[in-house]
Structure 1
Amino acid sequence: MDPLDPAVPGLLSAGRLEVTGRIVNASNATLFCDIELDGVRAKCVYKPIRGERPLWDFPDGTLADREYASYLLAEAFAPDGCVMVPPTLLREGPFGPGMVQLWIDTDEDGGLVDVLAPSDVPDGWLTVLRARDSLGEPAVLVHADHPELQRMAVLDVVLNNADRKAGHVLAGVDGRVYGVDHGICLHEEDKLRTVLWGWVGQKLPTELRATVRAVRRELDNGLRTRLADHLTRRELRALSERVDGLLATPRFPEPSGYGPAIPWPAF
């Protein structure tokens, strides 16, 4: 189902959820569902709060709240309506309240992040990390130099995303780029861990600087109040500081040096 379909919000909020599967290797309960309302059907992901594992470094709130707060911020990054995070909301489900998110069909040949031999890197792709594989052969972590990935990298700075794995970057069959799994975002301390480091130190393009300014306006015009139901005061203050920091120094930041810069596993 097209995320821009006007039926999506109503379907996700009031549709009947039927669990059809589960990601068994996920850290927290992640359920596949069919959802139906008045003859309109789609697939979605449902993450019940009761299935969340406590995290010592994210002790406040719930992962579902952070997922939803991330979606609200992603909306502010998309004045054209093309939101990088699939439509997401909080609601009751078969196993209690949780996060529900529209399923995105992906292009299996359209991967935007990869680990390759140096000789196999496509022209124009950006290198993030050089290493050696299990056989001792050289390998590189790379990603496409794609404007939507740039926008996602800036969103991740604002979100303070601690877990932007390659598998959390989706190339949709509709040709758009989506990011998923934002449960460990928006901490008050610097925890940015991502595979999208290819533009470190570069100036933000004019369009992205305008986007960050728009996010600042949204925070001042009601978004901060909406986020207050899902984040702590310290987290909200840190969010504002990250946005203001990007406005003052409009460049892709470098890793902080205080912890791992890339999530593990990277995929």
Structure 2
Amino acid sequence: MLHYKKHLIAEDAPWVVFVHGAGGSSSIWFLQIKEFVKHFNVLLVDLRGHGRSKQMASSKEDRHYNFDVVTRDVIEVLDDLNIECAHFIGISLGTILIRNISELAPERVSSMVMGGAIIRLNVRAKVLVAVGNMFKRFVPYMWLYRFFAWIIMPRERHKQSRLLFVNEAKKVAQKEFMRWYRLTYELTPLLKYFEEKDTAIPTLYLMGEEDHMFLPAVRFIVSRHTNSKLEVIGNSGHVCNVDQPAEFNARAIAFLKGVSKNGCKSAPESEPSTPSLELAVC
């Protein structure tokens, strides 16, 4: 099971689950905990192979996991703690996992806050992924990670975010990094499916105004999805929870408190079953 930390303020308080991105760990939420525990029970998870979660590769199937597998890791923690439903907050690739939870177990998701959301890969992002695939076996993975971090967060004011993610990525083993990188083969069809399918779950996108790679796609999808809204945080890049933590916290908490009374809804019985998202990994 994944390593996790929980902060319990009251048995009947709503839960907020924080999900970090690839190469990070639950420590990237250090600027959020103090404010959120004033209102919510908080659960922070380290994804497999990240932070204090050990490599979970006991079989060939585990060694070549996909998005559904790493998503179910999070659901397993909820089951262990008897958390029936919760609000979910993610950053970067963590937003994809949250969105996938809403497909695999929609009754567990009260709302979603998507920070630095990855909704679609633009041309620059696709080139970046392709370059990584070309050189991943010949170039030390930390060189690639530093390069990616600089492309995604290029400005001087993004320096703290870059350093935080790079320092956390150093704790990820080379083989584990490769397993996570293979997930890029799933990204395009999975994101296309998410784009085409609206969700009834209240969703707030919190994006930095300088998130040049991903903000345009979020603007587009919010215009099409009825239960989603976008708030742009000034003077901030991709990792807006670190660049502007006070703004991120205030906006996220206000949104969550607005939907807390509704709680989680049961999955509609009449809705056709969701197509399998377990795509083949090359």
Alignment TM class, shorter chain as reference: under 0.3
Higher relative contact order (CA 8 A, sep 6+): 2
Return the TM-score normalized by structure 1: 0.27
Structure with more of its chain in strand, by fraction:
1
